[in-house]
Amino acid sequence: MLGKLSKRDLRDVWKHEALDFTKWLAQSENIAFLAQEIGIDLQVLNTEASVGSFSVDILAEELHTGKKVIIENQLEMTNHDHLGKIITYASGIEANYVIWIFKDIRDEHRRAIDWLNEVTSGEVNFFAIQMELWVIDNSPPAPKFNIISSPNNWANAVRSSKGGSELSDNNLFQIEFWKGLNDYLVSAKSSLHPQKAKAQHWCNCAIGSSQAVISLIVSVKDSFIRSDFYIYRNKDLFFSLLERKDEIESKLGFEMDWQELPDAKAARISLKKEISDIKNESNRKAVYQWYRENGEKIQKVFKDYL
Output the tens digit of pLDDT for each of the chain's 306 residues. 778 889 999 999 999 999 999 999 998 888 888 987 887 878 888 898 887 778 899 999 887 678 899 999 999 999 999 999 999 988 988 899 999 999 999 999 999 999 998 888 668 899 999 999 999 988 999 999 999 998 875 654 444 444 444 567 888 888 899 999 999 999 999 999 888 788 888 888 888 777 888 999 999 888 999 999 999 878 999 999 999 999 999 999 999 999 999 887 889 999 999 998 888 888 899 999 999 999 999 999 999 998
Structural domain including 228 reads: 169-303
Examine the domain organization and report whether 252 and 204 are in the same domain: yes
Considering 149, 183, 215, which residue would you say is the last residue of a domain? 149
- Cα(first)–Cα(last) distance of the chain, in Å? 41
Q: Which residues are 145's β-sheet partners?
A: 131
Residue 270: CB atoms within 10 A of its CB come to 16
Total count of residues recorded for the chain:
306
Q: What are phi and psi of 160, to 5 degrees?
A: -65, -175
pTM of whole model > 0.75? no
Instruction: Find, among 77, 76, 27, 67, the residue nearest to 47 by Cα.
Output: 27
CA 20 vs CA 46, 58, 74, 151, 162: distances in Å: 15, 13, 12, 29, 40
Residues 6+ apart with CB under 8 A from 299: 191, 192, 205, 207, 214
Cα dihedral across residues 181, 186, 190, 196: positive or negative:
positive
Do both 136 and 216 map to the same domain?
no
The answer to whether the Cα torsion of 250, 256, 261, 264 is positive or negative is negative
Total structural domains within the chain: 2
Judge if 208 and 139 occupy the same domain: no
Same domain, 191 and 97: no
Residues 184, 293: one domain? Answer: yes
